[in-house]
Amino acid sequence: MESSNVSAVLFAKNLRRVAAFYSQALGMTCTASDEHHWALDGYGFHLIVHQIPPHIADKVTIQHPPERRVWGAIRLNFPVPSIEDSRRAARSLGGELDDAPPEWADRNANFFLGYDPEGNVFGASSLKAPGYE
């Protein structure tokens, strides 16, 4: 398969819930879906949300609220039109987008960490931030 854009695969226990989160909270568009995958596009980036096979998913426990998976090797960062809109959507969909930037970030950077309904950590920055104008 040939691709000219960067993509990532995110494995999910609850495919529909996680894919809906990225679509609604972070403004990604679903371009294809079936019972095992959802293909989401946004700002030149492709995210494939992949259903974890049932025999493995049945052994995975997701807490409510989910525990942040802060020790992952990769964190995806997304530009969003509005941090406030994304924050409201994230909270309504079982995730979170922090109210304050992480302690290591410049307070004026307009960058925030959050997590999806399964605890996967992501970053979000406003399209209105410097560098996106």
- In this predicted model, what pLDDT tens digit does every residue of 27-64 receive, in sequence order? 999 999 999 999 999 988 999 999 999 999 899 889 88
**133: pLDDT strictly greater than 80:** no
**Token pair listed for 51:** 């259903």
Q: Where are the domains of the chain?
A: 6-52+74-126
**1: pLDDT strictly greater than 90:** no
For the domain covering 6-52+74-126, report its CATH number.
3.10.180.10
Sequence-separated (6 or more) residues with CB below 8 Å from residue 111: 77, 101, 102, 105, 123, 124, 125, 129
**Tens digits of residue pLDDT in 62-98:** 988 898 988 878 899 999 999 999 999 999 999 999 9
Q: What is the dihedral of CA 56, 61, 64, 68, to 10 degrees?
A: -80
